Structure 1
Amino acid sequence: MATKGLKRSKSNAVLGGVCAGIAEYLGWDAGRVRLLYVLLSILSVAFPGALVYLILWVAMPAE
């Protein structure tokens, strides 16, 4: 039985494929995840959101 892992998406990537990979893992729409991520980043004064995105980009394996 294959397990579903968290990976960056190549097929639906805009910038690195992090949000698309999270969306595929959760079974959500990638646009919704991107919108939630942008809103969360703005509400946290953008810097922590950008830093988390960069860390995820490096840490998540590619598809």
Structure 2
Amino acid sequence: MATTPNRPFARSRHDRMIAGVLGGIAHRLGWNPTVLRLVFVVVSILSAAFPGILVYLILWLLMPEEGA
């Protein structure tokens, strides 16, 4: 895992499907964005305790956009 400690979590401007939340998290952690998106969707669907849509919306509101 190649993290960059100086770079804060930020929504991606280039690697986005909806708002760039998972693309930004994947970029920050050095992960593949597609794999992270698939894991997020599967966990959201299979787990009643993990409200994926709500978590995504909150992150969309709280995470700044890359370069902002």
Gaps of 5+ in 1: none
* Residue-pair matches, total: 62
Match of 1:38 among 31, 37, 41: 41
- Cα separation, 1, equivalents of 2:47 and 2:63: 22
**Displacement over 4 Å in runs of 4+:** none
Aligned to 2:28: 25
Q: TM-score, normalised by structure 2?
A: 0.83
Q: TM-score, normalised by structure 1?
A: 0.89
| Structure number having the greater helix percentage | 1
CA RMSD in angstroms, aligned pairs only:
1.8
Identity of aligned residues (%): 49
Gaps of 5+ in 2: none
Counterpart mapping for 1:1-63 below 5 A: 3-45=6-48, 48-63=51-66
